[in-house]
Structure 1
Amino acid sequence: MGSRHSSTILKTVLKSAFVLTLTGAAILGVQGNDVKVNAKSDTSVSNELNPVPASYGYFVDHYKENVKTNSTPDTNPAIALFNNTFLSYWNPTDGTKTNQKVLQDNLDKSIQITNGASQAEIDRSYLTDRRDLRYNLISGFGPYAPAFIKDTNAQTDFNAVPDAPLPAGSPYSSMQWADENSTLGSAVKLVDIAEDSAWSGTGTPKAYIKYTRPYRQSDQVKVNPYLKNVMASAAANDYDFPSGHTTAAFETGETLAYLFPERYQQLITRSSEVGYDRVLAGRHSPLAVMGGRVIGTAMTAATLNDPDNKQLISQAYQDTQKDLAKAQDKSAKDDFSDYQTNLKNYTYRLTYGFSPIGDTTKPMVVPKGAEVLLQTRLPYLNATQRREVLYTTGIPSGYPMTDDTEGWGRLNLFEAANGFGSFLDNVTVNMDASKGGFNAADTWKNNISGKGGLTKEGSGSLSLLGNNSYKGGTTVKAGTLAAENDNALGDGSLTLAGGNLTLSAKNVVVKGNYTQSGKGSLNLNSGDKVSVSGTAKLGGKLVVKDVKGLKSGVVILKSNKLSGKFAHQSLPKGWHLAYTTHNVKLVK
């Protein structure tokens, strides 16, 4: 593609491990780009979520117009995509720096990052540079990488750093990255369409924008020592913006994340790392790799929305799930095993620490078709709900490279994979455990705010890990809702009409009223307690799984006023319940 095929976190996300559910095919209802869901969506928020067209219309409708014969912003959406961002800092017509501060900050960051590179980063960025762009993403599979390599016949001829700098003109990898006729040939073919089609490259945007690479702007940019001869001899028209490697990394990584969402955040973190490797090597500037993320994400969404790819997408998804779901090799190296490190790195690379240059309070805009990027990661949500997730997890406006008209630059897919950031209105989720995967069990890690409430339906299990403040209350009708934070249930009332409410925190707070009917079950572990600010009306079942370390008389539910009793109870032998005006106690 193109010429070749200590961090700042914007938002605080709870520290927790990413829980994977591997039960065969995650979504049995996938038919190409269609997912059969049983999730209700309040239509009152639809207008807020409507896409905004750019000068070219919508990227997903015009992405195949990114070809050499369309060489201007008026004819090519992959160039016009940057009208409000990079092309407002730099005028390629006369080479004028129209925002000198941003471009100088961009160069300064290149100098800082390249001069601070560790030996491990130098080695990694060399391999990223030399290998096929698609092969670079395989490490994001972690313990599933050996099976993926085996079943795609993936290969590379660059496995170690050289003893001396490469000679000028040294070629990139000459090996086919993977085989379309392999066991996972459908997945390989889909990646090839996303990354290696005539319209998926950055050559035409680069040729129009003509922005010089950082190592040619300043000799203070420290180039990768293994590549210094190669880079010194590169053609004069080997331009910086947008980064082709980064574009390919997001096209590949996001496509693979769609096919195997069990490694969603790890794969897109590797995509962002490829971009960072380009900065480390001195090849590209931060703005160029940020631009690569923008165009790569837009291209991926376009590919996954294209009706021509529908049958292949369905087959590739089913094949990948069948092949990899039970193929975990726990002895394999996993560079992306630490959730907090992934979060920190991915979030930093959304803005590279640039200061805002515009209004940071503009409403979020969700591009047309972007919801497909979450289709397999949040399969129990419908398209409108997935747009709401993207809307409520986007990064602020006003930063360099964020404010393209459609909103591609503000998407934060890492945080979106953690569920809603806010309930704009009431949300009903129906999870069907029989479909397996994330339909059977999922965890929302974000701190959820907003005026809306949550209703949990269906046989699946949903865990709430955030410090939530949504106002509309919580209703459990079926399946399991697990509260894994004291404030998981937000600021409203709780109605346990059916199914299970499981506490996995020591003092879960209900800031309104608590109502439990005959079909609902409250499940506690040792030391867990429900604190109700309002009234508590009891019924249904109570299950206390263990009482290790508890003293007789411990309060397990307290309220402002208590009425009713649990109709059924499952307690450890020798224990019973005692009711007072305000409390329920566990007594031995």
Structure 2
Amino acid sequence: MMNHQLLKGIMLCSATFAITSAASLIRTNTSQASALTNTELQKVLAPKKASYGYYINQYKSNTSTDVTPQDNAATALFNNSFSKYWDPASNGTKLNAKILNENQQKSVTISQNQTAAESLRSYLSDRRDSSYNEIPALGPFANAFVRDADAKTNFTAFPSKPWPATAKDDPSSGVIWASDNSKLGSMVRLVNLTASQTYSSSGNPKKYFKYVRPFRQGPGINMNKYLVAVFNATPATDYDFPSGHTTQAFETALIMGYTLPQRFSQEVTRASEVGYDRVLVGRHSPLAVMGGRVLGTAVAAAVLNDSSNSALIKKAYSNAQTVLANKPDKNAADDYNNYQTNLKNYDARMTYGFETIDSKKTPMSVPKGAEILLKTRFPYLNVTQRREILYTTGFKAGYPINDDTEGWGRLNLVKADGGFGKLLTNTTINMKESSKPYSKNDIWRNNVGGQGSLTKAGNGTLSLEGTNTFSGTTIKGGTLIASNTHALGSGKLNLTGGTSKLGTGKVKVQGNYAQNAKANLNPDLKSKCNKFKLYK
């Protein structure tokens, strides 16, 4: 047994040893910026009020009778973005011809460069009900959902010949995507309440913007050959911005992800893929699907924040956890289960390769009520901590569509699924074992920086997979697994209770190390690394 009053700058590797010490820790890096106080953090995270107020309070103003930005919050959501590129008055005027011309060219390029698999997937996304499109992202729970929600679609493959011009543009309208009288009825009802109402619709802002679909703007769009006649037969008043399928995909995905948070990032990734499918199939432009992401995210948050929906929300969550969560099919296909791949694809679809057109220095803003989207994903965090995750994982400023006043466009919900991007303040998390997913076990996959420190309390288990640089770690209870050499940050490691596990070959502690008799250091005995190094 080794007994040190203070260990400084150590490298921990797998070995059978224990360290006991009641020594206090010494600050070794006084030049580091101070962590924010709670008051300072609240100021940073305070929401910004838009011209319409806050979307979660005004979402029902999205009606078919009032479509102007003065009366309709869904239209006004784009006051700081699309309304600066396009003026619908007098048959439309390009206020930013460069960005709109680039938008059209991207529509052409994307539609002309698709694989056979993408062609089929985008065809199915077009033909199926928009909510049904989110079922594949359930992965191992998808088959159980189809069965227990009585989910249906008539489309599983290409037809034998192209659809005629007389075919319905919305063939899924006569098919109920899932039954609200099924075993998963509460979950289905909450999806429908979010994604199938007048206030959910992109059709109302479309009526205001009157922005023509890309296949009508000029040559070059490679429309899916099975749908050319259907597309051409749609009326000229069937507009592009914002995309309805994408809006509904995000509305559905965020409810699916709320009720079954085990699939949160997968659902959001699939929603962004549905948007990409709309460009592939020749139906929408990149700016239109980016707008659908913004609107769908805001609507989902608004519905979840509405107190009149609280009883149904509670039932839907219980419904999903009781009926679905215990029925994973380990042999089912899961195309969305790689976090890094999801993050890469989602990031690409946040911008579609557009360059920045606005200030890159605009601070991130977290919309009022947006943190509710992470409530079930991080049940052990409080409201402020969930807002901090959204703030520190937010996307860079300056890109088209994304810089709305409140900040809906810059929310990077896939990255948020991986935990904090930074610890802005000294942060204590209390993971208590319960029946809620992620209360017992969770993984933070992001590289976590910031001037704050992390204190792990409660009897749950947290694994840190990122290359972290936050200012230090204290373990008071439960288990903290260091799954990266730099998982424990750039500061001290203090074990006052619980267990620290080394889930990788070696783990660096950049600052001081102290451990009392009630704490445990549990190395990975399977590792080939068997050295313990002390650095002075």
Q: Using the alignment, how far apart are the partners of 1:90 and 1:338 within structure 2?
A: 38
User: Does the 8 Å contact 2:151/2:179 carry over to 1?
Assistant: yes
User: Does the 8 Å contact 1:42/1:427 carry over to 2?
Assistant: no
The residue that corresponds to 2:507 in the other structure is 508
Report the CA distance between 1:511 and its aligned residue.
1.2
SS at structure 2 position matched to 1:45: helix
Report the CA distance between 1:190 and its aligned residue.
0.2
The RMSD of aligned alpha carbons is 1.3
The residue that corresponds to 1:146 in the other structure is 143
Q: Using the alignment, how far apart are the partners of 1:230 and 1:415 within structure 2?
A: 38
The residue that corresponds to 1:59 in the other structure is 55
Kindly provide the CA deviation profile for residues 412-453 of structure 1, in whole angstroms up to 9, marking residues without a partner as x.
Answer: 000001000001111100001233520001010111111100
User: Does the 8 Å contact 1:497/1:517 carry over to 2?
Assistant: yes
Match of 1:127 among 120, 124, 128: 124
Report the CA distance between 1:496 and its aligned residue.
0.5
Letter in 2 for 1:149: V
Letter in 1 for 2:486: N
TM-score (norm 1): 0.83
User: Does the 8 Å contact 2:463/2:483 carry over to 1?
Assistant: yes
Letter in 2 for 1:60: I
Letter in 1 for 2:73: P
SS at structure 2 position matched to 1:434: coil
User: Does the 8 Å contact 2:304/2:313 carry over to 1?
Assistant: yes
SS at structure 1 position matched to 2:226: helix
SS at structure 2 position matched to 1:418: coil
SS at structure 2 position matched to 1:358: coil
TM-score (norm 2): 0.91
User: Does the 8 Å contact 2:379/2:436 carry over to 1?
Assistant: no
Report the CA distance between 1:505 and its aligned residue.
2.0
Q: How does 1:281-296 map to 2 (within 5 A)?
A: 281-296=281-296
Letter in 2 for 1:104: N
Q: Would you say 1:340 and 2:340 are equivalent positions?
A: yes
Q: Using the alignment, how far apart are the partners of 1:259 and 1:556 within structure 2?
A: 45
SS at structure 2 position matched to 1:120: helix
Letter in 1 for 2:482: A
Kindly provide the CA deviation profile for residues 568-587 of structure 1, in whole angstroms up to 9, marking residues without a partner as x.
Answer: xxxxxxxxxxxxxxxxxxxx
The residue that corresponds to 2:244 in the other structure is 244
The residue that corresponds to 1:556 in the other structure is 532
Report the CA distance between 1:504 and its aligned residue.
1.3
User: Does the 8 Å contact 1:115/1:222 carry over to 2?
Assistant: yes
Q: How does 1:195-210 map to 2 (within 5 A)?
A: 195-210=195-210
Match of 1:165 among 162, 165, 176: 162
Report the CA distance between 1:343 and its aligned residue.
2.0
Q: Would you say 1:102 and 2:99 are equivalent positions?
A: yes
Between 238-247 and 216-225, report the one with greater CA deviation.
Answer: 216-225
The residue that corresponds to 1:360 in the other structure is 360
SS at structure 1 position matched to 2:223: coil
Report the CA distance between 1:104 and its aligned residue.
1.0
Report the CA distance between 1:216 and its aligned residue.
0.6
SS at structure 2 position matched to 1:105: helix
The residue that corresponds to 1:384 in the other structure is 384
Letter in 1 for 2:160: D
User: Does the 8 Å contact 1:42/1:426 carry over to 2?
Assistant: no
Report the CA distance between 1:337 and its aligned residue.
3.2
Q: Using the alignment, how far apart are the partners of 2:86 and 2:273 within structure 1?
A: 26
Q: Would you say 1:68 and 2:64 are equivalent positions?
A: yes
Report the CA distance between 1:135 and its aligned residue.
0.8
Q: How does 1:82-97 map to 2 (within 5 A)?
A: 82-94=78-90, 95-97=92-94
Q: Would you say 1:299 and 2:299 are equivalent positions?
A: yes
Q: Using the alignment, how far apart are the partners of 2:355 and 2:528 within structure 1?
A: 51
SS at structure 2 position matched to 1:64: helix
Number of residues of Structure 1 aligned to a counterpart in Structure 2: 496
Kindly provide the CA deviation profile for residues 437-478 of structure 1, in whole angstroms up to 9, marking residues without a partner as x.
Answer: 20001010111111100000000001111111112x111000
* More RCO (CA 8 Å, sep 6+): 2
User: Does the 8 Å contact 2:505/2:528 carry over to 1?
Assistant: no
The residue that corresponds to 2:518 in the other structure is 519
Q: Using the alignment, how far apart are the partners of 2:229 and 2:208 within structure 1?
A: 27
Q: Using the alignment, how far apart are the partners of 2:193 and 2:495 within structure 1?
A: 48
Report the CA distance between 1:507 and its aligned residue.
2.4
Letter in 2 for 1:115: Q
User: Does the 8 Å contact 2:64/2:198 carry over to 1?
Assistant: no
Q: How does 1:428-447 map to 2 (within 5 A)?
A: 428-447=428-447
Closer, same or farther: CA 43–385 of 1 in aligned 2, 3 Å: farther
Report the CA distance between 1:549 and its aligned residue.
5.4
Letter in 1 for 2:132: Y
The residue that corresponds to 1:308 in the other structure is 308
Report the CA distance between 1:508 and its aligned residue.
1.1
Q: How does 1:369-518 map to 2 (within 5 A)?
A: 369-471=369-471, 473-518=472-517
Kindly provide the CA deviation profile for residues 302-343 of structure 1, in whole angstroms up to 9, marking residues without a partner as x.
Answer: 000000110000000001001111111122222223333322
Letter in 1 for 2:490: D
Report the CA distance between 1:264 and its aligned residue.
1.0
Q: Would you say 1:77 and 2:73 are equivalent positions?
A: yes
Report the CA distance between 1:510 and its aligned residue.
1.2
Q: Using the alignment, how far apart are the partners of 1:338 and 1:425 within structure 2?
A: 30
Report the CA distance between 1:82 and its aligned residue.
0.2
Q: Using the alignment, how far apart are the partners of 1:345 and 1:555 within structure 2?
A: 40
Q: Using the alignment, how far apart are the partners of 1:436 and 1:139 within structure 2?
A: 23
The residue that corresponds to 1:4 in the other structure is none
Kindly provide the CA deviation profile for residues 530-587 of structure 1, in whole angstroms up to 9, marking residues without a partner as x.
Answer: xxxxxxxxxxxxxxxx5x757xxx5324232xxxxxxxxxxxxxxxxxxxxxxxxxxx
Q: Would you say 1:189 and 2:189 are equivalent positions?
A: yes
Report the CA distance between 1:43 and its aligned residue.
4.3
Report the CA distance between 1:509 and its aligned residue.
1.2
SS at structure 1 position matched to 2:532: strand
Letter in 2 for 1:558: L
Report the CA distance between 1:347 and its aligned residue.
1.3
SS at structure 2 position matched to 1:52: coil
SS at structure 1 position matched to 2:111: helix
Identity in percent: 52
The runs of 5 or more residues in structure 1 that have no matched partner are: 1-40, 527-545, 561-588
Match of 1:111 among 108, 113, 121: 108
Report the CA distance between 1:277 and its aligned residue.
0.6
The runs of 5 or more residues in structure 2 that have no matched partner are: 1-36
Q: Using the alignment, how far apart are the partners of 1:344 and 1:231 within structure 2?
A: 31
SS at structure 1 position matched to 2:129: coil
Letter in 2 for 1:169: T
SS at structure 2 position matched to 1:433: coil
Q: Using the alignment, how far apart are the partners of 2:277 and 2:345 within structure 1?
A: 12
Letter in 2 for 1:146: N
Q: Using the alignment, how far apart are the partners of 1:496 and 1:368 within structure 2?
A: 37
The residue that corresponds to 1:270 in the other structure is 270
SS at structure 1 position matched to 2:508: strand
Q: Using the alignment, how far apart are the partners of 1:549 and 1:220 within structure 2?
A: 58
Q: Using the alignment, how far apart are the partners of 1:455 and 1:124 within structure 2?
A: 45
SS at structure 2 position matched to 1:254: helix
The residue that corresponds to 1:38 in the other structure is none
Closer, same or farther: CA 350–232 of 1 in aligned 2, 3 Å: same
The residue that corresponds to 1:48 in the other structure is 44
User: Does the 8 Å contact 2:261/2:437 carry over to 1?
Assistant: no
